Amino acid sequence: MRLDLDLLHAFVVICDAGSLTAASRRVHRSQSALSEQMQKLEDACGRLLLVRGKSGAHPTPAGERLLQHARQLLGLSELAYQDVQGIEIAGTLRLAMTDYFRPTQVIDVLARIRARYPRLRLQVSVRKSALIEEDPDDFDIGISMRLVDTAVRRRAPDDGRILIAREPVSWIAHDGFKRPKAARWPLVTLPETCSLQRAIVRALHRHKVKFDVVLTASGVAGLHMAVAAGLGVTCLNASAAPPDARRFVSDELPEMPDAEFSLLPPKPNEPALVGEVRRLLVAQFA
């Protein structure tokens, strides 16, 4: 039995998107057409590959194993096509990004890019969004974060950047965290150079909330450890919140603006390699 690459591609897109609804938008096909493709693939494999429910579509253990092979087969297929056509995606690409944006998913996407373009050398640096915005000549592709009014509707930016996500920013704490009896809130944050940290402090001062910064972490991973230890509360966007934390609701804590994530505008005369990887990132994240 030979597996159909079109069926494998549909399977990978569904797994990446997390649901047939989201996948249908990515491939511009109806949900019923994708469902039919999955039925054909499952019939060919003789195994249930997807579990579908209200929370979306997720691969079964057999589906997880097939997903690894499917990515490799699709990558080899594209590599073979590029080779026959004389297309070579090779060279060094510098990617600068904020660590607030989907930290667990980004690693997987970068691994896929390396598998898809084995001759491509990725140089990834994690930076504060302000530094990414201020020094765009120091990298080829930049992913930065901006805070926007929650009342403003999601729309495409007008400065050439590509909006790839907008997420709510919430107060979070460890599931077992309880506010101390003291009047001041224990706060864990990033350094003052972080735009979100500055927004948190401004909001707290504006609402006259008393607080103490009990820990300053160097990155989001440090915030996760501090929250897990129950040291205090912090603010994070939805995709950067640790799985064992919970949204912390209090009438004293102010509502925070949403976080928007964008790819910085393409540079004049950028290499085809950069444009190809940017299109791949948009397809994965938007």
Determine the pLDDT at residue 201.
Answer: 92
* Model pLDDT for residues 36-90, shown as the tens digit of each residue: 999 999 999 999 999 988 778 889 999 988 988 887 788 777 767 666 765 556 6
Give the 3-state secondary structure of residue 161. Answer: coil
Q: How many CB atoms lie within 10 A of CB 75?
A: 17
The set of residues, in sequence order, having a beta carbon less than 8 Å from that of 29 and lying 6+ positions away, is 10
* Model pLDDT for residues 251-281, shown as the tens digit of each residue: 889 999 999 999 988 888 877 778 878 887 8
Determine the pLDDT at residue 157.
Answer: 52
Average pLDDT, the chain: 83
Give the Å distances, CA to CA, from 202 to 194, 197, 254, 255: 12, 9, 10, 12
pTM for the model: 0.66
**Cβ-contact 49, 59 below 8 angstroms:** yes
Please work out, in degrees rounded to the nearest 5, the angle formed at the alpha carbon of residue 15 by the alpha carbons of 123 and 84.
60
Assess whether pLDDT exceeds 60 at residue 33: yes
- Rounded CA gap, 18 and 264, in Å? 26
* pLDDT category of residue 150 using cuts at 50, 70 and 90: low
Q: Using alpha carbons, select from 26, 21, 1, 48 the residue that is nearest to residue 9.
A: 26
Assess whether pLDDT exceeds 70 at residue 286: no
List the domains of the chain with CATH numbers.
5-85 (1.10.10.10), 91-164+261-285 (3.40.190.10), 167-258 (3.40.190.10)
- With a pLDDT cut of 70, the percent of the chain lying above it is 90
- Which residue intervals of the chain are DSSP H helices? 5-17, 20-27, 31-45, 61-85, 103-116, 129-134, 195-206, 220-228, 272-285
